Chain A
Amino acid sequence: MEDAKIVQLYFDRDEAALNETQSKYGKYLLKIANNILYNNEDSEECVNDTYLSAWNAMPPHRPDVLSLFLGKLTRGHAIDVYRKNHAGKRIPSEFTTSIDELEECIPGASDVEDNLEAKRLGEVISGFLREQSDEARNLFVGRYFYADSLKDVAAYYGMSEAKAKMILFRTRQKLKDFLDTEGFTV
């Protein structure tokens, strides 16, 4: 079923919307959640929360791209579950590895950093990514948004993992410099 029709089912408050969403995007969303949580049970629960959130959000929200809208919801839920269930513990998921890598992007200590809204930071990073090559941008989003493994992101372009790793490293360094120049550091 086309996305527009699925969205319309939500607007019509037709519960078939949930079945259609699960049928079309269930695996996609489960993959996103599992990359972060590394646990099937938690991931399925997370995806179910996504359906509920989508049901509550539509209407009034009418997403331009349903898959991205659902993906973002799933990612948000998965990160919440990750924090709640694994606070202080370290689990061997791609998400754990990927956010460890993101540590390199943290600018120097700043008093204003806590005031920075995640949304604003997201916009800034979007601006930064637009300046990067297609390759660097997609590897970055694949690795740090979708928490895909290094092997998976390398497969986007059929490159070696070593090359993908090097591109990601350079992009992180650039992002750090970019955030510095944007004033997110002392």
Chain B
Amino acid sequence: MDKEKISEALSYLDDDIIKETDALRQKSAKRRSFGIINIAGRPWVKIGLTAAACVLIIIGGGVAVYRSGILSRKKSAPLPDLASSKFAYTSSDGITQGLSEGDGFATDRYDTSDSGRNEGTRENAVGTSPASVGEKQVAAAAMPYDMTYITSFCTYTCKDSKVAGSYGFDLSENADYYVVTGDRWELEFLNSDTWEKVAPKEEKAWPAIAIPIGQYAGTNHYSSNFNLDCYGELKDGSYRIVKKIWIHKVVGGNDTSYEESVYCDLEIKK
């Protein structure tokens, strides 16, 4: 057998096989006749596209940071803390599940069952609430921004002594400001009528990131997963995740920032 015999044999390939390739050839020839050249597969194009994408990401990131006001705010406002704590919770029995939803000053209601599995539902209440008692509370009317545009939420489970879930907040599209926050959060416990910070058992370094929410950010939603594994033993009661935010609003022609807190409530019951 020689190579020419194989080549000759190709004349007897099944028609459908040749037809398939023929269609591809004609399509390719048509593209070339219209001056359309597919260069995506060429190595230098891949390198070029990758480099261009990197440049765009850098520029885009820079623009996002600039527009978020971090570099240009007039009033001094701290960025989200970069080092804080992460906490742990240990419960001895049962499963607790919770769902909370409300604004930054919302109240909550918690129902339990006796089956070892606890489920909670937190209802939204705009305005003042027990969750904020004892805290520095800013009267919305006195400030140039409306906190009711922010709705917090917290969904969590408590199972095998572990509490985990996600929390966050939504900023209304009607809001006339945008929000910047970071990764850091803290846990507080409601002792009588006073919210007390829960000390962490282990320190944790938080990433130095600023997360814009709302105008210019492309999203009005912030959420993050959490767990309380690193806390010590926690007693039953009402807890809340405290999230620092910075509200940015143009006041008097200046982009001014105001520090605020968003609270996401938890109910732990053994």
Q: Given B4, B6, B13, which contacts A141 in the complex, CB threshold below 8 Å? A: B13
Contacts of B32 in A (CB 8 A): 155
A113 touching B7 in the complex, CB below 8 Å, given contacts A68-B22, A119-B12, A141-B18: no
Please choose the segment from B33-41, B63-71, B167-175 that sits at the chain A interface, where 4 or more of its residues have CB less than 8 A away: B33-41
- In the complex, are the beta carbons of B10 and A155 less than 8 A apart? no
The 8 Å CB contact of A107, one of B1, B8, B9, B41, is B1
Main SS at interface, chain B: helix
Residues of A within 8 A of B15 (CB): 64-65, 68
Chain B residues contacting A141 (CB-CB under 8 Å) are: 10, 13, 17-18, 20-21
| Chain A contacts for B14, CB-based, 8 A | 123, 126
Task: State whether A118 touches B17 (Cβ < 8 A).
Answer: no
Min distance, Cβ B160 to any Cβ of chain A, angstroms: 49
Indicate whether A160 sits within 8 Å of B41 (C-beta atoms), given known contacts A65-B15, A146-B25, A148-B25: yes
B20 touching A137 by the CB < 8 A rule?
yes
State A66–B8 Cα separation when bound (angstroms).
20
Nearest A-chain residue to B10, judged by Cβ: A145
A118 and B41 within 8 A (CB): no
Contact check: which of A83, A114, A142, A156 meets B4 at CB < 8 Å? A83
- Taken together as a complex, chains A and B put the C-alpha atoms of A114 and B39 apart, in Å, by 44
CA distance A148 to B12 in the complex (A): 18
A88: interface (CB < 8 Å): no
Which residue of B is nearest A158, CB measured? B38
Measured CA separation A25–B37 after assembly (Å): 24
Verify if B114 is at the interface (C-beta below 8 Å from A). no
**Known interface pairs A79-B7, A160-B42. Does A106 touch B2 (Cβ–Cβ under 8 Å)?**
yes
Q: Does B136 make an interface contact (CB < 8 A)? A: no
B11 and A130: CB pair below 8 A? no
**Interface: A72 (CB within 8 A):** yes
Cα A95 to Cα B43 in complex, Å, equals 27
Query: B40 near A65 (CB under 8 angstroms)?
Result: no
Check if B5 sits within 8 Å of A121, measured CB to CB: yes
Is A156 in contact with B9, judged by CB distance below 8 angstroms?
no
Residues of B near A83 (CB, < 8 A) are: 4
Known: A67-B22, A138-B24. A99 touches B9 (CB 8 A): no
- Assuming the A-B contacts A76-B11, A137-B17, A158-B38, are A121 and B25 also in contact, with contact meaning beta carbons closer than 8 angstroms in the complex? no
Q: Does B28 contact A (CB under 8 A)?
A: yes
> When chains A and B are docked, how far (Å) is the Cα of A77 from the Cα of B156?
77
Question: By the criterion CB–CB under 8 Å, are B4 and A98 in contact?
Answer: no
Q: Are A145 and B21 in contact (CB under 8 A)?
A: yes
Known: A99-B4, A103-B3, A160-B43. A146 touches B21 (CB 8 A): yes
Interface centre among B17, B31, B38 (most CB of A within 10 A): B17
Q: A125 near B: Cβ within 8 Å?
A: yes
- Chain B proximity of A126: nearest CB distance (Å): 4
B24→A156 contact, CB < 8 A:
yes
Is A122 at the interface (CB under 8 A from chain B)? yes
Question: Are B1 and A145 in contact, with the CB atoms below 8 A?
Answer: no
Closest beta carbon of chain B to A41's beta carbon, Å:
22
Contact residues in A for B17 (Cβ distance below 8 Å):
126, 129-130, 137, 141
Partner of A163, one of B8, B19, B41: B41
The answer to whether B13 and A126 touch across the interface, beta carbons within 8 angstroms, is: yes
- 13 A-B contacts (beta carbon < 8 Å): A65-B19, A100-B3, A102-B3, A106-B1, A106-B6, A110-B1, A121-B5, A125-B13, A138-B24, A141-B18, A142-B25, A144-B10, A155-B32
